[in-house]
Amino acid sequence: MVEEPDFQNLPILGDQDANSVKPIFGITIGAAFNYSINDMISVQPELNFIQKGYQEKFYSSMIEIIDDKSFNTHITSTSKYKMNYLEIPILARYTFGTTIKPYAIAGPSLGIGLGGKYKFEEKIVESIDDDPAQTSTDNGKGNIKFGKEPDNNDSEDLYIDNRIDFGLQLGAGALIDRKFVIEARYGLGLSSLYDSEYKIKNRVFQLTVGIPILLK
């Protein structure tokens, strides 16, 4: 996590940049159908609505010497991105136990991007030598859309190149008295969100409580 420095007491060290990324909370709603092959092994297809996203904090410090004067610029920004997906996992499930039945699951998933929201806040602090610093702020928000950005786009919308999100899911849970399911799951995205040299992929941790529907 990037801590905002004391702008009035920064040493002159030249240009500096730092950033941090951390996950944000979202919701997931859906249905899972468990088809038993035998008493221990089953196949579990699902259809879920899930929110994925992250928060990014960025700090930049730039110091320039012009005509023996020191021009200092410090920028701190926070951006949050929340994206909605329709996700279809196909999971293999291994179950054991009696009344309380622990289980492990794993398998591939296909996510389809539906849209989302983003917002940002930015603070810029500028000063010359020992003069009092001048502070300006900016903030905004907009929609997240999937697909290529139009050439004539003049809106606040943010475009993500790839709508399809392939991934793998791994987790464990427990079926309690055939009435409730408690489960923790990790989703590892394999597809990059953007067609660029920088690979940005989804990572998701899910904690869910559900009611089982047994087909066999």
Q: Where are the beta strands (DSSP E) in 35-176?
A: 35-36, 41-66, 69-95, 100-128, 134-146, 158-160, 164-176
Per-residue pLDDT tens, the chain, 216 aa: give them.
444 444 444 443 445 566 788 888 889 999 888 888 998 999 999 999 999 988 989 888 888 887 777 888 888 999 999 999 999 999 999 998 888 899 999 999 999 999 999 999 999 988 887 777 789 999 999 999 999 888 887 788 999 999 999 999 999 999 888 788 999 999 999 999 998 887 888 999 999 888 876 555
Three-state DSSP at 131 gives coil
User: What is the residue extent of each domain of the chain?
Assistant: 7-210
pTM, to two decimals: 0.79
- Residue 4, helix vs strand vs coil: coil
Query: With the CA atoms of 138, 144, 146 and 151 taken in that order, what torsion angle do they form, in degrees rounded to the nearest 10?
Result: -40
**147: alpha, beta or left? (left if phi > 0; alpha if psi -120 to 50):** left
Please give the Cα distance from 30 to 46 (Å, whole number).
Answer: 7
